[in-house]
Amino acid sequence: MSTTITAQPGTPFIEVVREFAAPPAAVFRAHREPGLVQQWLGPADLEMEIFEYDVRSGGSYRYAHRAERGEFFFRGVFHSVFHSDEDGGRIVQTFEFEGAPGEVSLDTTTFTGLGDGRTRMRTHSVFPSVEARDAAIANGMEGGITESYDRLDTLLEKES
């Protein structure tokens, strides 16, 4: 499957769309359970350690990706978490790379069933400025997202 990442010039937004050959409940579960998240989030050459991952409205998270080239810490708050086997679901959360403090994005991810055991996942990220959005892109966000979703595809195939 291909991942579509759209960043319109001059706007502080990024939209990511990916379809998965799995029902919304399975894709949502892979975003919610720390043991599953650890298997797909981030590039494969990074080791992930989760310190906290409480996916519920008002919950928070913090994790690190590690490699020989360094450690990268991330944190955020889950503002709204909704899931329905019939309607899919939605997660609204903040996302902050601790290496760029104060450059927090607000991400809304929706999980929409396509009626054939497939799911369309769409994430709309709002950054505090166009410059913050452009810096995230320049720091390899696109490659990390694409590789993560490829790994999620593989996990979902194994889980079904």
Query: Residue 149 belongs to a domain with what CATH number?
Result: 3.30.530.20
CA distances, 3 to each of 17, 122, 127, 128 (Å): 6, 10, 20, 24
Position 147 pLDDT exceeds 80: yes
Looking at per-residue confidence, does 141 or 96 come out higher?
96
* Beta strands 70-84; 88-97: pairing state: antiparallel
Please give the C-alpha separations between residue 14 and each of 33, 64, 76, 134, 141, in angstroms, as whole numbers. 25, 23, 18, 10, 11
Would you say residue 101 has pLDDT above 90? no
What is the tens place of the pLDDT at every residue in 31-56? 999 999 999 999 999 999 999 999 99
Instruction: For residue 53, give its domain range.
Output: 3-159
Per-residue pLDDT reduced to its tens digit, 59-93: 999 999 999 989 999 999 999 999 887 678 999 99
Total domain count, the chain: 1
Q: 133-145 pLDDT, tens per residue?
A: 999 888 888 889 9
Average pLDDT for the chain: 94
